[in-house]
Chains A and B, each alone.
Chain A
């Protein structure tokens, strides 16, 4: 059940280009499923009038109980008004948090090989998914990307549970030099994946959807478009997508998404 709570910053540390922020968020994270996101209001909780739009963040990790209670980890790019604010909050600060929000990743019924493609901070959305897929016996392969090494989210836990991890960077500072679009065909062949999950910039997701389809794999993409409220109320994050009824609709990224089947999105109109 989605809820709103005053969360509290418990840990905040810079890892590479991003700030990793751990929030104690009782009541908000217990029903989290991979692909869900959380929405944050800027400023002190209460009727604010400085920044009236909320900001949405992918969830890197959820812990139902730790030394800090129920926590949620966010990977924040410390730029823009929202990112700078959240990344700069000292430990102990209260944060108006709503979540979990959005439709999660659909997981395969059988233990099929899965390829998880993540670029930049958005790759964080794939880590809880990987954990769940491994639990279900799905062989998981990662393709992680970034402009430069500091923008690649890596993790020992992933390296342990994944069958293989491929890294590409635009400047070649980590892994092979190149883009997701260049590395994906090879990764699809090696992983023999029948399902591709992706999170990253829209242009990358578009490429993933197209290349996956060419290789006969299903793709699910975690779409990131600006979400004014994140809760489905404002109809401001409209995505042109073909529905189950085979009719094109204008749907909300936050409510009907953010996870969509790659072949359902009308990329040219986005």
Chain B
């Protein structure tokens, strides 16, 4: 059966998901993206579109230090396979976040978030080019302890993906996370990201594109998964694991439902 993860930014701090899902049975719980310093984000944040959600989270997060004191201990105590999603303004800034996480007990791995639309306006390192992505991955690998795995999230831009995926694979990581939210805007023009069932076909195309470029490399698919059929579609496209994200916002029990659907039909 294909392993299921909770996608970044869709599982709260983990505690809020626990009443609806067996977190210890998950292959991975990915945190919302953490930066070195807290980020406040904007006011208007999430709207519905037909078949999708439009989110302007602007990487709102409490900063890595508060995550370490307020959120990770509970996840570790429960035995949840926790992946910290990280981003930063430069390779050195990303490395500083990872260095803080590296000695924390209870973490399974790092998900380096390079799938950020318009990195410059968000004061983030631009990982959308082969060179920019490779620099960031190298900075993380230089300091990553052996006990932590590294996933690199690359997004769904199929024109850039083959070259960027190859560059990252050559530097080295344990898996690429492919797909996810697409650049969008709220009605008032605020830059945002579109997620939900609307983006699933785009994510499937992205996974197939990377699979064609890197026939053997481990891939994690993400984007619009709401049913067992969606999970199998990602498997058919070449993903060995799948992340469930915004489906949880609509139905917090979605993981349990998808798991039982997969078991029934396997």
Contact = CB atoms under 8 A, between A and B. Distances in A.
Interface of A: 1-4, 41, 46-54, 96, 98, 226, 228-229, 231-238, 240, 249-250, 252, 255
A189 to B, nearest CB: 36
A237 B197 CA distance: 22
Nearest to B18: A2
A236 B45 CA distance: 6
B19, B57, B257: most-surrounded residue (chain A CB, <10 A): B19
25 contacts: A2-B19, A41-B251, A47-B226, A47-B227, A49-B51, A52-B48, A52-B197, A52-B246, A53-B48, A53-B249, A53-B250, A98-B252, A228-B53, A229-B249, A231-B252, A233-B11, A233-B17, A234-B9, A235-B32, A237-B45, A238-B45, A250-B40, A250-B41, A250-B60, A252-B12
Given A49-B197, A52-B250, A228 B226 contact: no
Given A4-B20, A235-B32, A54 B62 contact: no
A96 B251 contact: yes
A252 B70 CA distance: 14
A5 B170 CA distance: 48
A39 B246 CA distance: 16
- Chain B contact-residue range equals 35 or more
A228 B46 contact: yes
B165 interface: no
A51 B57 contact: no
A3, A232, A234, A240: most-surrounded residue (chain B CB, <10 A): A234
Given A48-B250, A235-B32, 4 more contacts: A3-B19, A49-B197, A50-B51, A236-B57
A3 B52 CA distance: 25
A1, A228, A235: most-surrounded residue (chain B CB, <10 A): A235
B146 interface: no
B67 to A, nearest CB: 12
Nearest to B256: A4
Please list the 3 inter-chain residue pairs (A to B) with the smallest Cβ-Cβ separation, ordered nearest first. Answer: A232-B16, A229-B249, A228-B46
A2 B253 CA distance: 12
B60 A235 contact: yes
B151 interface: no
A116 to B, nearest CB: 29
Given A228-B46, A234-B46, A52 B16 contact: no
A48 B251 CA distance: 9
Contacts of B52: 52
A51 B197 CA distance: 11
B125 interface: no
